[in-house]
Structure 1
Amino acid sequence: MLHRSLLPLGLIALLGLAPACQRAAAPATTAVPTASPLPAATVPVTARQAMVVSAHPEATRIGLEVLRRGGNAYDATVAVQFALAVCLPAAGNIGGGGFVVYRGADGAVGALDFRETAPAKASRDMYLDKQGNVIPDLSTRGHLAAGVPGTVAGMWELHQKLGKLPWRELVQPAVELATQGVRLTEKEAAGLNANRQVFFTTNELPAGFPVVGVFAAQAEGAAPYVRYTEGGHLLDVDWHAGDTLRQPQLAATLTRIRDAGRSGFYAGPTANLIIQEMLLGNGLITQADLDQYQPRWRTPLRGRYRQYEVISMPPPSSGGVALLQLLQMLEPFDLRRLGWHSAEAVHLITEAERRVYADRATYLGDPDFGRVPVAQLLAPDYLKQRMAGVTPGSGATPSAQVAAGAGLPGYESDQTTHYSIVDATGNAVSCTTTLNGAYGSKVVVAGAGFLLNNEMDDFSVKPGVPNSYGVTGGAANAIGPGKRMLSSMTPSIITEKGKLRLVVGTPGGSTIITSVLQATLNVLDYGLDPQQAVAAPRLHHQWLPDHIDVEAGALTPAAEAELQRRGYKLNPRGAWGRIDAIERQPDGTLRGGADPRGDDTAAGY
Structure 2
Amino acid sequence: MKKVTLSIHCAIILFLALLGACRTGQKAPDVRQSSGVYQYDNEKKQAVARRAGPYFSDRQAVVGRSGMVASAHPEASRVGVDILKAGGNAVDAAVAVQFALAVVYPGAGNIGGGGFMVYRDNTGQAYTLDYREKAPEKAHKDMYLDSAQNVIPRLSITGHLASGVPGSVDGMVEAHRRFGRLTWAQVLQPAIDLAEKGVALTEREALGLNRTRSSFLAVNPDKRYFMKADTTDWKAGELLIQKDLGQTLRRIQQQGRAGFYEGETARLLAAEMQRGGGIISEADLKNYHAVWRDPLVDTYRNYKIITMPPTSSGGVALLQLMKLVEPYPLRRWGWNSDSTVQVMIEAERRVYADRAKFLGDPDFVKVPVAQLIDRNYLQTRWADFNFARATDSRNVKGGNMPGYESLETTHFSVVDKDGNAVSITTTLNGGYGSRVVVGGAGFLMNNEMDDFSIKPGVPNMFGLIGNQANAIAPGKRMLSSMTPTIVEQDGKLYMVVGTPGGSTIITSVYQTILNVLDHGMTMQQSVNALKFHHQWLPDKTTFENGAFSDETIQKLQSRGYVLEQLTNSLGRMDCILRRPDGTLEGASDPRADNTSVGY
TM over 0.5: yes
- Answer yes or no: is the 8 Å Cα contact 2:18–2:28 preserved in 1: no
Output the amino acid matched with 2:303: Y
Determine whether 1:451 maps to 2:444.
Answer: yes
Distance 1:104 1:295 in 2: 20
CA displacement at 1:35 relative to structure 2: 5.3
Q: 1:62 aligns with which of 79, 85, 93?
A: 79
Distance 1:74 1:521 in 2: 27
- Answer yes or no: is the 8 Å Cα contact 1:531–1:592 preserved in 2: yes
Output the amino acid matched with 1:352: A
CA deviation vs aligned residue, 1:485-524 (integer Å, no higher than 9, x gap): 0000000000011001110000000000000000000111
Determine whether 1:269 maps to 2:254.
Answer: no
- 1:67-86 alignment to 2 at 5 Å? 67-86=84-103
Determine whether 1:370 maps to 2:357.
Answer: no
CA displacement at 1:409 relative to structure 2: 4.0
Normalised by the length of structure 2, the TM-score is: 0.92
Determine whether 1:227 maps to 2:228.
Answer: yes
Distance 1:18 1:536, change over 3 A: farther
- Answer yes or no: is the 8 Å Cα contact 2:384–2:391 preserved in 1: no
Q: Secondary structure at the match of 2:107?
A: coil
Of 381-390 and 442-451, more deviation after overlay is shown by 381-390
CA displacement at 1:390 relative to structure 2: 2.8
Q: Which residue of 2 aligns with 1:405?
A: 399
Q: Which residue of 2 aligns with 1:361?
A: 356
- 1:323-402 alignment to 2 at 5 Å? 323-390=318-385, 393-402=387-396
Q: 2:585 aligns with which of 587, 591, 596?
A: 591
- Answer yes or no: is the 8 Å Cα contact 2:532–2:570 preserved in 1: no
Output the amino acid matched with 2:330: L
Distance 2:523 2:497 in 1: 9
Q: Which residue of 2 aligns with 1:569?
A: 562
The number of aligned residues is: 567
- 1:16-415 alignment to 2 at 5 Å? 20=6, 26=14, 27-31=17-21, 32-33=26-27, 39=33, 40-42=37-39, 43-205=60-222, 218=223, 221=224, 223=225, 225-229=226-230, 235=231, 237-390=232-385, 393-411=387-405, 414-415=407-408
Q: Which residue of 2 aligns with 1:12?
A: none
Q: Secondary structure at the match of 1:288?
A: helix
Distance 1:452 1:304 in 2: 37
Determine whether 1:601 maps to 2:595.
Answer: yes
Distance 2:486 2:402 in 1: 28
CA displacement at 1:381 relative to structure 2: 0.4
- Answer yes or no: is the 8 Å Cα contact 1:35–1:341 preserved in 2: no
Distance 2:62 2:179 in 1: 27
Q: What is the percent sequence identity of the aligned residues?
A: 54
CA deviation vs aligned residue, 1:327-357 (integer Å, no higher than 9, x gap): 0011001101111111111000000000000
Distance 1:16 1:541 in 2: 33
CA deviation vs aligned residue, 1:209-265 (integer Å, no higher than 9, x gap): xxxxxxxxx4xx5x1x12344xxxxx2x21111111111110111111111111111
- Answer yes or no: is the 8 Å Cα contact 1:60–1:603 preserved in 2: yes
Distance 1:66 1:549 in 2: 40
Distance 1:411 1:64, change over 3 A: farther
Output the amino acid matched with 1:194: R
CA displacement at 1:25 relative to structure 2: 5.0
Distance 1:451 1:228 in 2: 19
Distance 1:320 1:365, change over 3 A: same
Q: Secondary structure at the match of 1:583?
A: strand
Output the amino acid matched with 2:581: D
> Which structure 1 segments of 5+ residues have no match?
1-14, 206-217, 230-234
CA deviation vs aligned residue, 1:100-127 (integer Å, no higher than 9, x gap): 0010001110000000000000000000
Output the amino acid matched with 1:580: D
Output the amino acid matched with 2:204: K
> Which structure 2 segments of 5+ residues have no match?
40-59
Distance 1:448 1:59 in 2: 21
CA displacement at 1:394 relative to structure 2: 2.6
Q: Which residue of 2 aligns with 1:442?
A: 435
CA deviation vs aligned residue, 1:546-590 (integer Å, no higher than 9, x gap): 000110110011111111001000011110220111011122111
Q: Which residue of 1 aligns with 2:523?
A: 530
Determine whether 1:513 maps to 2:506.
Answer: yes
Distance 2:530 2:197 in 1: 37
Distance 1:129 1:174, change over 3 A: same
Instruction: Let me know the Cα RMSD of the aligned residues.
Output: 1.6
Distance 2:186 2:86 in 1: 10
CA deviation vs aligned residue, 1:414-435 (integer Å, no higher than 9, x gap): 1100000000000000000000
Output the amino acid matched with 1:226: M
- Answer yes or no: is the 8 Å Cα contact 1:34–1:559 preserved in 2: no
CA displacement at 1:33 relative to structure 2: 2.7
CA displacement at 1:388 relative to structure 2: 2.5
CA displacement at 1:326 relative to structure 2: 0.4
Q: Secondary structure at the match of 1:367?
A: coil
Distance 1:452 1:19 in 2: 54
Determine whether 1:419 maps to 2:420.
Answer: no
Distance 1:373 1:173, change over 3 A: same
Distance 1:455 1:482 in 2: 13
Normalised by the length of structure 1, the TM-score is: 0.91
CA displacement at 1:318 relative to structure 2: 0.3
